[in-house]
Amino acid sequence: MASRTSRDVLSRGLGVLRQAIREQPRIFTVAVVGSVLFGGMIIISARVVGTVIGEVALPAIERGEVGAGTLALAATALFGISVLRVAGIVGRRLGAGYMQYRLQASYRRRVTRRYLELPLSWHHRNSTGTLLSNANSDVEAAWYPIAPLPFAVGTLVMLVGAIVSLFATDWALALVGLAVFPALFALNVVYSRRMAPRQARAQRLRAEVSGIAHESFDGALVVKTMGREAQETARFAGRAGELRDSLIAVGRLRGIFDPLLETLPSLGTLAVLVVGAFRLRQGAISVTELVSVAFLFTVLAFPVRAIGWVLAELPRSVAGWDRVRRVLDATGEMPYGQRVLDPAGSGPATLTFSDVHFSYPPAEAHQPGAQVLGEVGFTVPAGRTVALVGPTGAGKSTIASLAVRLVDPDTGVVTLDGVDVRELTAASLAGTVALVAQVPFVFDDTVRANIALDRPGIDDEAVWAALRLAEADGFVAALPDGLDTMVGERGTSLSGGQRQRLTLARALAGRPRLLVLDDATSAVDPRVEAAILAGLRSSTAEPGVPVASILVVAYRRATIALADEVIYVEQGRVIARGTHNELLATVPGYVDLVTAYEQAEVERAQESPYGDDVAPLPSGLEIEVDR
């Protein structure tokens, strides 16, 4: 079993190397040419050194004098060979390094691009720590053998040249080489087999340590408020200790084999001297040939190790490549169409759901998916505001995700101005619809950068207009540097309500024709929320910000009352629709829900009399309001 596993790793590892060569053939050729030049100069230098010793140094010692011309010629030859060897080293190292880093950069971009192409359902099944490991350490591991690969290829050419040179010199010395070189290869193969499982385990543990670290840091609020610092530290320390032990096992094996790889050529040199002395006494070879062969064995030790380096890194490369390919080969992306709607700012859009069904994919392939929505149908007319109301788990956020095409329905159609959203280009969809999610995300950048996002046409005037509409211009103007204020990672210098209004302003700055608010003002004071929605409904008076259709996931009575129509959903189905007063009069479930929400708001207001935006909590531990 171990033998089959080793052969499988070797075969797959060579496949990874072939892929690298196919993608960077020119750079690889440059690196190999440099490596072959280096190897060729080693063989030639052995001949030159032998000639200098046998035909220059020894005769000079016998005569008691050194000819200046002969000495200059020998020095010139050695210097020229050294220059060519240096040129080979430079070409090999630059080519290998350039090839390795180009591949790493290319595959980081591919992995990241694939992340953005895959639907949210795929991301839900993969932890952030694993995804970070895929794009970083796994990509690095996949192409780690590229650095010694050209050296190893050049070494193979050099070994063939060395064998030919040995046979051209003397058959007995060639037999010594034929004994030593296969032994070196056999030792490298044994080394690779022993190293394969250790490297694979170390790579897996790297990903697990990265995942635990990210989870602990990202969940700092829960860790601290639940007093789990010691337990999380112990959990991380335990897995980090396993990684340490795994890497020590790798180092211990390397510590055993490296001396053997160093010793074997030295033993070959000793054997050459013994056999060579006997052949020299027989008159079969000259001193020049003996010195050349001995010198050749001496300098072969380091290049031959390059083959071992490649073989030793193949298991790690295969482990990393498998993880990278898992991302690149993942299915479920949502291709865009070619249709284009009217540009942003040309008036509100009409959103229509027609008999939409949706199920989230199962955690396991053999399990059925859980249906979230069934027979959902409604319309958000152009320029109107529709409130989506329902208990927790009714499917409101899923409807919001379908409206902006974060996911696609299993059956049914979602249309904008009568066009299936699946037929729209990515740019047209992004320019038509904007989503403000429950949990606001703010980049570690300035207020201006967070709102503009480098989108063309959004200047400071447009930024301030969006801030005014989001009722955020007041607190932004009061910040130390105004629009140039750095808000910190995830907006830690802002309160929850301020972050929500900042993300709302970001959406409005793009002048969307349809605005989807998924409980996007839950951390905002009710009076501020009412002012925001009232401003959105009458935004024709706001210069530079057009009227937009609005689909709002709401639970506050004041918010719901501002809507032109209310859609009440339960268990993924539309139960009733109408105005707020009509549903209060006809739908008992709606009455109970709105009353419960209203009572919860009253209790929260009594417990927290300070309202919204009082100040951020220390150390970035803001409390996100979510139901």
For 333-358, what is each residue's pLDDT tens digit? 678 888 888 776 577 889 999 999 99
pLDDT band with cut points at 50, 70 and 90 for residue 399: very high
Nearest of 329, 310, 327 to residue 9 by alpha carbon: 310
**Average pLDDT of the chain?**
79
CA distance 422 to 429: 9
Range in 8-22, 151-165, 197-211, 466-480 with the lowest mean pLDDT: 197-211
Q: Residues 12-39: pLDDT tens digits?
A: 888 899 999 999 999 999 999 998 888 8
With 60 as the cut, is the pLDDT of residue 271 above it?
Answer: yes
Q: What integer is the mean pLDDT of 363-381?
A: 74
pLDDT at position 544, please? 43
With 90 as the cut, is the pLDDT of residue 603 above it?
Answer: no
Q: Is 467 helix (H, G, I), strand (E, B) or coil?
A: helix
Task: Find the largest Cα–Cα distance for the chain.
Answer: 123
Q: Which stretches of 375-495 are DSSP H helices? A: 396-403, 426-432, 447-452, 460-469, 473-478
With 50 as the cut, is the pLDDT of residue 153 above it?
Answer: yes
DSSP class per residue in 114-177: HHHHS-HHHHHTS-HHHHHHIIIIIHHHHTGGGTTHHHHHHHHHHHHHHHHHHHHH-HHHHHHH
Counting other chains too, the contacts that 240-249 makes at CB distance below 8 Å and 24 or more residues apart are 240/209, 242/205, 243/202, 243/205, 243/206, 243/208, 243/209, 246/198, 246/201, 246/202, 246/205, 247/202, 249/198
Q: What integer is the mean pLDDT of 241-256?
A: 83
551 in Cβ contact with 386 (< 8 Å): yes
- The percent of residues in the chain predicted with pLDDT above 70, rounded, is 81
Q: What integer is the mean pLDDT of 303-328?
A: 80
Q: Is 562 helix (H, G, I), strand (E, B) or coil?
A: coil
With 60 as the cut, is the pLDDT of residue 43 above it?
Answer: yes
pLDDT at position 124, please? 67
Record the tokens describing residue 503, joined without a space: 């993300």
pLDDT at position 522, please? 66
How far, in Å, are 124, 191, 308, 576 from residue 322 at the CA level? 20, 22, 22, 50
Q: Residues 522-546: pLDDT tens digits?
A: 666 667 777 777 777 665 445 444 4
Query: Cβ of 591: how many Cβ atoms within 10 Å?
Result: 13
Q: What integer is the mean pLDDT of 194-219?
A: 72
How far, in Å, are 31, 158, 577 from residue 304 at the CA level? 17, 9, 78
How far is residue 420 CA from its own chain's centroid?
32
Our CA dihedral for 437, 443, 446, 452, rounded to 10 degrees, sits at -50
Highest mean pLDDT, choosing among 36-45, 283-292, 329-338: 36-45
Q: Residues 63-121: pLDDT tens digits?
A: 666 666 767 777 788 888 888 888 988 998 899 999 999 999 999 999 888 887 777 76
Record the tokens describing residue 389, joined without a space: 């109301």
pLDDT at position 74, please? 74
pLDDT at position 313, please? 78
347 in Cβ contact with 373 (< 8 Å): no
Q: What integer is the mean pLDDT of 462-469?
A: 86
SS (H, E, C) 487-524: CCHHHCCCCHHHHHHHHHHHHHHCCCCEEEEECCCCCC
CA distance 438 to 120: 16
With 80 as the cut, is the pLDDT of residue 218 above it?
Answer: no
Nearest of 123, 134, 107 to residue 206 by alpha carbon: 134
CA distance 535 to 540: 9
Q: Is 33 helix (H, G, I), strand (E, B) or coil?
A: helix
Range in 23-32, 121-130, 486-495, 554-563 with the lowest mean pLDDT: 121-130
Q: Is 353 helix (H, G, I), strand (E, B) or coil?
A: strand
Q: Which stretches of 510-621 are DSSP H helices? A: 526-537, 557-561, 580-586, 588-607
Nearest of 17, 22, 113, 102 to residue 318 by alpha carbon: 17
With 80 as the cut, is the pLDDT of residue 248 above it?
Answer: yes
The helix or strand, by DSSP H or E, that contains position 483, with its residue range, turns out to be none
pLDDT at position 412, please? 92
- How is the beta sheet containing 411-416 ordered, strand by strand? 370-380, 351-360, 411-416, 419-420
329 in Cβ contact with 416 (< 8 Å): no
